[in-house]
Amino acid sequence: MKKLFVLTAAALLAGAAGAQAQAWPSRPITMIVPFAAGGPTDVVARIVGEHMSRTLGQQIVVENVTGAGGTTGITRAKQATPDGYTIAMGHMGTHGAAPALYPNLRYDPAKDFEPIGVAAGTPILIVTKKDFPATSLKEFLDHLKTSGPKLNEANAGVGSVSHTTCTLLQSLTGTKFTRVPYRGTGPALNDLVAGQVDFGCDQIVNLVPQIQAGTIKAIAIATKERSPSLPNVPTTKEGGLPEYEVSAWNAVFAPKDTPKEVTAKLVDALDKSLSDENTRKRLLELGGIIPEGADRGPQALQKLVESEVARWTPVLKAAGVVGQ
Amino acid sequence: MQSDVDAAGKPARQGVIRAPQSFFAGLALIALGLFAIWAISNLPQGTLGAMGPAMLPRWLAIAVALCGAALVVVGLLKEGEPLERWHLRGPVLVAIGIICFAVTIRWFGLAVAGPLALFIGGFGSDETRPKELLIFAILMTAFCVVLFRYLLNQPMPILIIPGTSIYI
Amino acid sequence: MSEIISNLGLGFTVALSLQNLALCFAGCLVGTLVGVLPGVGPIATIAILLPITFGLDPVGALIMLAGIYYGAQYGGSTTAILVNIPGEATSVVTVLDGHQMARQGRAGIALGIAAIGSFFAGTVATVLIAALGVPLTKLALVFGPAEYFSLMVMGLVFAVVLARGSILKAVTMIFIGILLSTIGTDLETGQERMTFGFPPLADGLDFAVLAMGMFGIAEILRNLEHSETREVVKARIGRLLPGLAEMKQSVLPILRGTAIGSTLGILPGNGAVLGPFASYTVEKKVAKDGSRFGRGAIEGVAGPEAANNAGAQTSFIPLLTLGIPPNAVMALMVGAMTIHGIVPGPQVMTKNPNLFWGMIASMWIGNLMLLIINLPLVGLWVKLLQVPYRLMFPSILIFCCIGIYSINSLPSDVVFIAIFGVIGYTFIKFGFEPAPLLLGFVLGKLMEENLRRALIISRGDLMTFLDRPISAALLAVAVLLLIIALLPTIRKGRDEVFVE
């Protein structure tokens, strides 16, 4: 009897060990999205994840782990077992601005992850309320210089993309304006439409329908080229402030020490999804920017992370913006 | 022993504390208020026109402490309810059951956390029948596994045996 | 007028297609069943079921999602009545009288009246949206931070009226609730308040955690000490559905609740959450015998449930007409729409009339389906109540644990429900009620944010709350209500009634 028991146990253990040798992926993969379901990052993650699931042959399940500007979810991803079954969708905030915003940050964006690749970026727009007395970027900047403190800027709170990007605007123009925080972009947008606040800097995803309907005004888009979804909005380059080039990029990361074979497969799956016509269509409809060629893949992402951290740290520190 | 009866037919309480429930509730509230004041003490209050992060919490804490003081006074002056008896079995076992769940769910999975919580928490009732509870715990966990993991697709670990790679 | 009819006609043609009907039904059914699980509120339900809709066309997917939404709302009310657990802020009020009715063996009646009231309110709200959708959005835009602050103050006064027993204790609970809502990261400065450096607290306490602990677990703990009385209660089941007398009692509350809920639901920034509380307050004050409330008064279920559902429907208005989600659930809907290729905005109505009117028509159909699905289910739920408590409460326990864990996968959330459960139990032992605390918690956050926001915009001018007419009016109403609430107490002297 005892022998039978020992043999069975040994067989089970051997089977378990053998299971490890099975090709990755042999069960669904969790993609941690550090923001609420329905938001821009979540939407990008789901669109891209859906196609990646097909390439990999296993479902990519999105798990929303929100909190602390996205850092809670990313910390969870860092601590996950690096076996390829947990990955994360980080973005400009979690892997660029976070070190400056959170002194007690428990991860290093450049060192604690294996970069997989940029998924899609959403350009930032400077928008104003309907009857703001400026139509071009130049007029807007003049207004900022003369009546800065009288102007109200809506953002989604410290640590959000809208807050961080307007901080950059503030430091680039050397102006000071009154910052009004909201709990999320929804309420902020609502007050902008209502005219309770004057302007804001936010991702294109939320703004396109409002601009097209004329409820708010778009002053400039912070990219090199105009966006196909908003062809009438000039770029900051055309408007005279080329240094203000920001996009809230979203990228896929895996925990450090994830095996090379696994990351290679992830890189390939991501690449295929970004070239898939249907996926591209949906991402472009959102106003997203899809990376091409040299901008794809792990090396490009690693460089991006390092350069973003270098870029945001002095700006945010100088503005005295500090989360905890 | 006391034969005096007050207007409501309840034995008049001897002693200073006429309404123990109010009295001790009040004391607890004062303690809570003071604790909160201490917890918020490191943050700036700002002015009424430019409120800082500590303004509202601090004044709320003061308000709570004041309410507590009012209750203490009421407890000394008016007749009221005595302190209710505390039952420990229920709260302690249920709390332990929940904590066992929290501690085991991520590292051992639902198949371990479920029965633990159900079995330990289940003992919180006076009427528990251990054998019945054990069977119920296993069946209920199975039901939850099917419901949450397979029907609803929740990313929840079912069974993890550390040291091996069994991860369901 | 004829335009509305033709638009509705278009809507019904879309909504009555076999596929969309089936999707609506599936959504309502699944939403109800998942929403009934203690610990899983409407937001969690939609998030869980969202992936199911991915393979569908946009209109179909949205109809299904909307069905899931009302289903989850109704399932949440069911949980509130049966096991005293509010899945969402709007169900807190249902708990007060609904659960008391269940303890008295009138669970079927409570559930039935909730279903009927919700159906009526949903019908009216649908007509409102169809007829007045666009003009109503302008109302939403008039509300700025100052107005919201005053609205929240008014809401907090409701909480005082809500109280069953001692006013002093209720006010204390409200203060503690607001205090608890300040825990977390300050929105304006990014500094952490009262978190003691504990990361899970960085974003503050979760409503679900607080509600589950203080209502669900605390109720379990309380029931565990009265094992004998529970058996007695269960023996008296009585009628399963509301009779004529109950319907008559509920007519006016339902009408009033619908009006209140529809109006408040339109306001972005979660104005809908006030609907049930306002309705409860109105009913309590209007009733001939206000002391019945909190002990199983049917008006306390009929009115708030109607307000709840009316608010849930009208909160689609800012989403469909402006494209701006008024609360977290609608934000999820926005995400869902975006994934399906429709970016919600002011032009959805004109560019996508099929979608807009189809959704509105299916709202009414969904309400009807909920009635059809839930009335028979009442019998099932009542049977479920007859399970011996020694097996029932561990089940509730495990569902709470799993439900809470599934929100953020944080074991600390689970530990918190244990802590709040014990705290809630302690409060009850001391004669405090948890409902005002929860209301304080929900409103406190909104109140403080809007207070500081209004002051930033007015550059520190406190008069802004009185200068703006709507804000001033709301504050006046709040003061008036407070006086009305306190008047009986002041007149009778401090004769406090300690309940339970």
Digit-by-digit pLDDT tens for chain B (168 residues) are 444 444 444 455 556 777 788 888 888 899 999 999 988 888 888 887 778 888 889 999 999 999 999 988 888 887 777 777 778 888 999 999 999 999 999 888 898 999 999 999 988 888 888 899 999 999 999 999 998 888 777 778 888 887 766 666
- The answer to whether B161 contacts A16, with C-beta atoms less than 8 Å apart, is yes
Considering the entire predicted model, what is its pTM? Answer: 0.82
Which of A169-173, B119-123, C58-62, C115-119 has the weakest average pLDDT?
Answer: C58-62
**C-alpha dihedral, B59 to B61 to B65 to B68, nearest 10°:** 120
Give yes or no for a cis peptide into A25 (omega within 30° of 0). yes
Looking at the domain assignment, is residue A112 inside a domain?
A: yes
Task: Give the residue ranges of DSSP H helices in C37-166.
Answer: 42-49, 58-83, 92-103, 107-142, 145-162
Q: Which residues of A touch B161 (CB under 8 A)?
A: 16
Residue B4: the pLDDT is 47
CATH of the domain at A261: 3.40.190.150
Phi, psi of A222 (to 5 degrees): -90, 55
Asked if pLDDT for residue C323 goes beyond 90, the answer is: no
Residue C83: the pLDDT is 84
Looking at the domain assignment, is residue A71 inside a domain?
A: yes
Q: Which of B83, B112, B132 is the last residue of a domain?
A: B83
Q: Average pLDDT of A49-76?
A: 85
Sequence-ordered list of residues with C-beta below 8 angstroms from that of A248, at least 6 positions apart, any chain? A40, A91, A92, A93, A121, A122, A123, A124, A161, A165, A203
The count of domains in chain B is 2
Residue C120: the pLDDT is 92
Residue C233: the pLDDT is 45
Asked if pLDDT for residue C497 goes beyond 60, the answer is: no
Domain shared by B1 and B55, yes or no: yes
Domain shared by A87 and A141, yes or no: no
Residues A229, A216: Cα–Cα separation, whole Å: 16
> By CB neighbour count within 10 A (0-12 exposed, 13-18 middle, 19+ buried), where does C343 fall?
buried
| Comparison of pLDDT for C42 and C438, the residue scoring more | C438
| Comparison of pLDDT for C343 and C499, the residue scoring more | C343
Q: Which residues of C352-362 are buried (b: 16+ CB within 10 A; e: fewer)?
A: beebbbbbbbb
- The answer to whether A17 contacts B166, with C-beta atoms less than 8 Å apart, is no
For residue C314 the two structure tokens come to: 């009208």
Give, in order, the Cα–Cα distances in Å from B129 to each of A217, B125, B137.
Answer: 69, 9, 12
Q: Cα distance from A16 to chain B (closest Cα, Å)?
A: 6
Residue B11: the pLDDT is 53
For residue C130 the two structure tokens come to: 């169809």
Which of B137-151, C162-176, C286-300, C324-338 has the weakest average pLDDT?
Answer: C324-338
Domain shared by A117 and A139, yes or no: no
Asked if pLDDT for residue C255 goes beyond 90, the answer is: yes
Q: Which of B37, B65, B83 is the last residue of a domain?
A: B83
Q: Which of B83, B98, B122 is the last residue of a domain?
A: B83
Give, in order, the Cα–Cα distances in Å from B132 to each of B127, B141, C288.
Answer: 11, 14, 49
pLDDT confidence bin for C494, thresholds 50/70/90: very low
pLDDT confidence bin for A20, thresholds 50/70/90: very low
Looking at the domain assignment, is residue A238 inside a domain?
A: no
Q: Average pLDDT of A106-129?
A: 92
Looking at the domain assignment, is residue A237 inside a domain?
A: no
Residues C200, C192: Cα–Cα separation, whole Å: 12
- Dump the DSSP string for C414-438: HHHHHHHHHHHHHHHHTT--HHHHH
Residue A67: the pLDDT is 73
Look at strands A29-33 and A86-91 and give their pairing: parallel
pLDDT confidence bin for C257, thresholds 50/70/90: very high
Domain that holds residue B132: 89-151
pLDDT confidence bin for A61, thresholds 50/70/90: confident
Looking at the domain assignment, is residue A286 inside a domain?
A: yes
B10 lies within 8 A of chain C by CB = no
Domain shared by B53 and B14, yes or no: yes
| Comparison of pLDDT for C136 and C148, the residue scoring more | C148
Strand boundaries in C341-446, DSSP class E: none
The count of domains in chain A is 2
Other CB atoms within 10 A of residue A10 CB: 10
| Chain B residues 49-108 with a CB less than 8 Å from chain C | 49-54, 56-57, 60-61, 63-64, 67-68, 70-71, 74, 78, 80-81, 83-84, 86-87, 89-91, 94-95, 97-99, 101-103, 105-106
Looking at the domain assignment, is residue A104 inside a domain?
A: yes
Q: Average pLDDT of C407-416?
A: 86
C481-493: pLDDT as tens digits? 888 777 776 655 4
- Which residue in the set A17, A19, A61 is minimally distant from B155, CB to CB? A61
Domain shared by A45 and A113, yes or no: yes
Domain shared by A112 and A201, yes or no: no
Interface with B, mutate which of C52, C225, C384, C459 (most B CBs under 10 A): C225
Q: Cα distance from A17 to chain B (closest Cα, Å)?
A: 7
- The answer to whether A16 contacts B153, with C-beta atoms less than 8 Å apart, is no
Residues A156, A248: Cα–Cα separation, whole Å: 14
Residue C239: the pLDDT is 64
Residue A22: the pLDDT is 61
Q: In the predicted model, what is the mean pLDDT of chain A?
A: 86
Asked if pLDDT for residue C275 goes beyond 60, the answer is: yes
Instruction: Fill in the DSSP letter of residue C288.
Output: S
Looking at the domain assignment, is residue A278 inside a domain?
A: yes
Looking at the domain assignment, is residue B163 inside a domain?
A: no
Q: In the predicted model, what is the mean pLDDT of chain C?
A: 83
Domain shared by B12 and B33, yes or no: yes
Question: Which residue from B119, B87, A290, B24 is spatially nearest to C395, judged by alpha carbons?
Answer: B119
Domain that holds residue A132: 124-221
Residue B88: the pLDDT is 85
